[in-house]
Structures are given as structure tokens and as C-alpha cells.
Amino acid sequence: MSSEEVFLKDIVEFNPSYSLNKGEEYKYVEMAAIPEGVKEIDYFDIKKYKGGSRFKNGETLFARITPCLENGKTAQVNVLEDNEVGFGSTEFIVLRPTEPEVDKEFVYYLCRHPEFRLYAQARMEGTSGRQRVSWQSLEEYDRPLPNKNTRKEVGEFLKVFDDKIHLNQQTNETLEAMAQAIFKSWFVDFDPVRAKIEATSAGRDPNRAAMAAIAGISLENDWDETEAALGQKLSRKSDKQRTHLRQTAELFPDELVESEIGEVPKGWGISEIGKEVNSVGGTTPRTKNPEYWDGGKIAWTTPKDLSNANSKILLDTDRKITDEGLDQISSGLLPIDTVLMSSRAPVGYLALAKIPVAINQGYVAMICDQVLTPEYVLHWTESNMDMIKQHAGGSTFSEISKRNFRPLPVLVPSEEVLNAYSEKVGSLYDLITANMKENITLENLRDTLLPKLISGKVGV
């Protein structure tokens, strides 16, 4: 080896032996907290230390056991405080860069390198289904690495992609939370209606009060403070926006009446979800028949597609079927904006399909071809998930059948209010969809450049 050649064992300490006291509580990262093919860790627990891998921020966790290794469970620790030590699954190999300011990012991306992962997979040992690779095998990785300056440049360059991807994901979480908050305000708490009732009793303008509620202004303050806050908010809007807000406020009733599901706005109906949407199921074409699968281009989804999703928008599926495969599914190809709910194992994954899609038997799909809009149905389903699960049956695992799902009661607001809601929330989902599409582009570009940069075939 020449003096200039650098190898992984020269820049990394494997499984650092940080000191933790048994029986004391520390932050704990389990395997399930590591998303597949994603840099950021989703969450952590607090557990008593009894043993396991130990790590600090900036170090890379590499899943060493099948199928987690093959599925791309590799992440950089980011959930600890400075110099704090956490611990995790014994199935992690921890890679601590000896010069973090140089190699923190490079080590992570090297662990994402397809060649490195194939190297690790080829050295897995053990019985079928429980195979794992040792840290000693990774230490023997014998491909020379770039020099120090190049490693730092490559790591920081690739980090830009993941930072933007993460920012888009955080933005989407905020947008989805906004959409759900609007649903709760309008259709669960009935804030605009209650604002009108309160304003009328106080001799105030009910539509101004409803405008404040729709604008997210708390009505717990006195009327003068509410009016001042509304005035400030309206001053930042155009004439068209102010007119639209007042028109939306005028759509809400000014009275609540008793119904079978409790108080609801006057004039809104109570129905059964099965009467308001077309709820259908799917199937799995015979997997042993290549005619149904080979070369297929039609999106076909199972709940697994939603299990690791970070948004309720579905843009792609893991598997595709052929036209012949589609013919085996009685519900056929479902239209864009179909609401998907996993009906078993577990009940409750949700998505709004932004592509035509066929489904397997693990879904109840809701085609919104009547008054209820897709955005309303999506958030109604989420808000009523406890009720839905209470109607699930099954001995080995919980399942909600279409027969049990269809009679569930659903509030049917006026068509005008539904349209106003979907116009408002639909723009949020348009932004979410655009961010997701951008992330797909960024991920593809990052994954294309990563092996070329690390191998030196392309320079930063």
C-alpha cells in the first residue's frame, strides 16, 4: 500500500465503547426508527440501558441483519445533544469517523454506496432469515478511498441533496397538519358556526366572527381584540382574498341542531359513508403467472407502500402489473384522487392517490364521485379512525370489512362548504405533491451521483 492510499479502517472506529451505566435511562434508537433509504432518524425512546450499540450525534448506524441491510436501513444519528451518548439495537454497526469535521458525511454516504452494500451482503453469515454481517468484515473493506479534501467535498455536496429533501418533508408535515387542523375547525368543532352563534347573541356581525374563526383567530379574546386581529390579517390580503373569505364565512349556518351523532350545523345531513362514496376492494393477481407481472407498467399497491410513507400522497408503487393482471382485479384501475385506507395488518394507513392505481385485498378504497370531496373523505377517515377500528373484526389480526365500513355514519356538509374546503386544502396538497415530486428528482440525482463521486469518476 502506498503512503497516499486510505482505507475505511483508517478513518473509522467501529462500535465505539462509550460508557453507559446499566439500569440508567438513555435515549434509545430501535431498528424501526430507521427509515429505509433515508438519512434522518424518525424518533427515539427512553429506555434503561442493558446493553447494545452506543453512539453520538454524527455517527452512522448501519443495519447488519437481513432484511434490514438489503432494504437500506442506514442513518446518521441526529437526535442527541452535543456529547450525549445514546444506545440502540445490537443489530447496528456504529461507524464513528475519527475526524468528524472531515468524514462525518462521507462515511454515511459510503455506507449508502451500492458497491459497499453488496460487499456487506456478500459477507453475511448465519442461518436463513437471521443472517448478519460482522463489523470486522466491514473493517476489511479494501477499496481505496479519496483523499481528505475530496472526501470532505463529496460528503458536503451530497448532504445538500438530503438537506433539501428533509426540508421538503418537514414542509409537507406542516402542510398536512394545517389541512387536518382546518378539517377539525370546520367539521368537528364547528368553529365558524359557533362564532356566528356567539356573535349574534352579543349583537355583533356574525359573518365577521366566522371570518375570524376561518382565519384561525381565537375567539377566546374579547370582541375588540378579535376584531383588531382580524383587521390586521385582512390588511395583509388582497381585495379578492378578503371577498373570498367573507363569501366563505357566509356559507356556514348560524345554528346547531341535535342529530344521531350529536350537535351538527343546521342543514347539514347525516348519512352512511357507503352511500356517499363508492367503496371497493382489490385482489392480488396470481404471482406465479408472469403474464400478470413481467414488464407491467400499471401501478398496483399494497399497504406496504404506505407503511414507510412520510406523506398521505401516493405517487408511485413498489410493484406494477400488466393489462392482463389488471383484468384479474374486479375494481379495475381506480381514478386519481381515490382515497385509500388499509383495511388490515394494520387498519388505518391512509393515502390520496395522485395516480391511477389498482389495489390488493388489503384496502378499502373510496371513490369520491358524489358530493363528498376526496380531501374531506381523507380527513374524515383520519378523524374517525377510532370508530372505524372499533368496527373491525378478525381473530388473527384486526380487519375492517367493506360490509362493516359502509354503514358508518358520516356528516355531509353543504356542497358549497365542501367545495370551499377542498379549494383551500387542495392547494395545500398541490404544494405537498410538488415537494414530493421534487424529492423524487433529488433522490434520483443524488443516487446517480453518489457512486460516481465516491469512486472518483466524477469530481465535485
pLDDT digits (tens, 9 = 90+) for 274-305: 999 999 999 999 999 999 999 999 999 999 99
Examine the domain organization and report whether 125 and 50 are in the same domain: yes
Q: How far apart are CA 387 and CA 263, in angstroms?
A: 18
Q: In the prediction, which pLDDT does 260 show?
A: 94
Specify which residues 25 forms β-bridges with: 48
Is pLDDT at 389 greater than 90 in this prediction?
A: yes
* Per-residue pLDDT at 444 exceeds 70: yes
**Would residue 151 count as lying in a domain?**
no
User: Rounded distance, CA 69 to CA 124, Å?
Assistant: 10
Lowest mean pLDDT among 191-195, 316-320, 390-394: 390-394
d(CA 290, CA 354): 27
C-alpha cell at 396: 388473527
Lowest mean pLDDT of 10-14, 234-238, 267-271, name the range.
Answer: 234-238
Within this chain, do residues 89 and 218 fall inside the same structural domain, yes or no? no
CATH code where residue 406 lies: 3.90.220.20
Residue 3 has pLDDT above 70, yes or no: no
Q: Has residue 249 been placed in a domain?
A: yes
Question: What does the alpha-carbon distance between residue 355 and residue 338 come to, in Å, rounded to a whole number?
Answer: 9
**Same domain membership, residue 278 and residue 399:** yes
Which cell goes with 14?
Answer: 467501529
Residues 243 and 312 in one domain: no
Band of pLDDT at residue 395, cut at 50, 70 and 90: low
pLDDT tops 90 at residue 36: no
Tell me whether strands 25-29 and 45-48 are parallel, antiparallel or unpaired.
antiparallel
pTM: 0.88
Alpha carbons 77 and 297: distance in angstroms, whole number: 37
Instruction: Clarify whether residues 288 and 222 are in a common domain.
Output: no
Q: Report, as an integer, the average pLDDT of 36-52.
A: 91
In the chain, what is the greatest distance between 2 CA atoms, to the nearest angstrom?
88
Q: List Cβ neighbours of 47 (8 Å cut-off, separation of 6 or more).
A: 25, 26, 28, 87
Q: Do residues 128 and 20 share a domain? A: yes
Q: Is residue 264 part of a domain?
A: yes
**Ramachandran quadrant class, 307 (left: phi over 0; alpha: psi -120 to 50; beta: rest):** alpha
* For range 224-252, the mean pLDDT: 92
Q: What mean pLDDT is predicted for residues 371-377? A: 98
- Give the position of cell 392517490: 353
Question: Does some domain include residue 12?
Answer: yes
How many C-beta atoms lie closer than 10 Å to residue 442's C-beta?
17
Report pLDDT digits (tens) over 430-441.
999 999 999 999
53-55: strand order across its sheet: 45-48, 25-29, 86-88, 53-55
24 is a domain residue: yes
Instruction: Tell me what pLDDT residue 331 has.
Output: 96
**Measured between alpha carbons, how far is 132 from 65 in angstroms, rounded to an integer?**
4
Do 135 and 221 have their domain in common? Answer: no
Instruction: Pick the last residue of a domain from 118, 145, 172.
Output: 145
Domain span at residue 238 reads 182-268+417-421
**Mean pLDDT, rounded, of the chain:** 94
Polymer length of the chain: 460
- When comparing pLDDT for 66 and 36, which is higher? 66
Nearest to 43 by CA among 52, 57, 33, 53: 33
1 band by pLDDT with thresholds 50, 70 and 90: very low
Q: How far is CA 159 from CA 62, 76, 107, 369, 446, in A?
A: 18, 11, 12, 44, 9
Counting residues of the chain whose pLDDT is more than 90, the rounded percentage is 87
Query: Looking at the predicted structure, is the pLDDT value of residue 329 above 50?
Result: yes
> Domain for residue 168, yes or no?
no
Q: Based on the fold, state whether residues 343 and 235 are members of the same structural domain.
A: no
Q: 34 and 128: one domain?
A: yes
Say if 442 falls within a structural domain.
Answer: no
Residue with cell 363508492: 278
Q: Are residues 384 and 303 in the same domain?
A: yes
Please give the tally of structural domains in the chain: 3
pLDDT (tens digit per residue) in 54-98: 999 999 999 999 999 999 999 999 999 999 999 999 999 999 999
- Asked whether residue 215 falls in the same domain as residue 284, the answer is no
2: confidence class by pLDDT, cuts 50, 70, 90: very low
Query: What string of H, E and C letters represents the secondary structure of the chain?
Result: CCCCCECHHHHEEECCCCCCCCCCEEEEECHHHCCCCCCCCCCCEEEECCCCEEECCCCEEEECECCCCCCCCEEECCCCCCCCCEEECCCEEEEEECCHHHHHHHHHHHHHCHHHHHHHHHCCECCCCCCECCHHHHHCCCCCECCHHHHHHHHHHHHHHHHHHHHHHHHHHHHHHHHHHHHHHHHCCCHHHHHHHHHHHCCCCHHHHHHHHHCCCCCCCCHHHHHHHHHHHHHCCCHHHHHHHHHHHHCCCCCEEEECCEEEECCCEEEEHHHHCEEECCCCCCCCCHHHCCCCCEEEECCHHHHCCCCCEECCCCEEECHHHHCCCCCCCECCCCEEEEEECCEEEEEEECCCEEECCCEEEEECCCCCCHHHHHHHHHHCHHHHHHCCECCCCCECCHHHHCCCEEEECCHHHHHHHHHHHHHHHHHHHHHHHHHHHHHHHHHHHHHHHHHCCCCC
126-183 confidence digits (pLDDT tens): 987 789 999 999 999 999 999 999 999 999 999 999 999 999 999 999 999 999 999 9
Q: Are residues 30 and 75 in the same domain?
A: yes
Q: Is residue 458 part of a domain?
A: no
Beta-ladder partners of 46: 27
